[in-house]
Amino acid sequence: MCPPTAAWYGVNPGDLGIAVTGHLKSEYDRDYWTSLFARAYNSKGEVVGGSLDPGHICGAIPIHLKSNGTSYFEVHLKYREDIRLIKIFSGCVYKIPPP
């Protein structure tokens, strides 16, 4: 279970947010699952935030990758003026939905 987001990345009701959306393309010959999460960095390369989505791992969302298809994703971060870069990471590939 994920900790309350207010303690996690200092998010409170009414705070501005960022939604990052996109598509993952699968080139596998069968369906798989993966985990996806985001990290935000300032101009010094320091982590200043991360995806807030609750999932099987805090901040990570499960994505179903259909064989030779594309899968939509959307992750959310708290807005900060010092964010200069957001990186999207994909975790392991699973044959079944991640725990």
pTM across the whole model: 0.82
- Give the per-residue pLDDT at 83: 97
- Give the per-residue pLDDT at 9: 61
CA proximity to 89, closest of 40, 48, 46:
40
Cβ atoms within 10 Å of 80's Cβ, excluding its own: 16
- Give the per-residue pLDDT at 55: 72
**Residue 69: CATH number of its domain:** 2.60.40.3230
The one-digit pLDDT tens for each residue of the chain (99 residues) are 455 544 456 778 889 999 999 999 999 999 999 999 999 999 999 999 999 888 777 788 999 999 999 999 999 999 999 999 999 998 788 888 876
Instruction: Tell me the residue range of the domain where 65 lies.
Output: 5-94
Establish if 77 belongs to a structural domain: yes
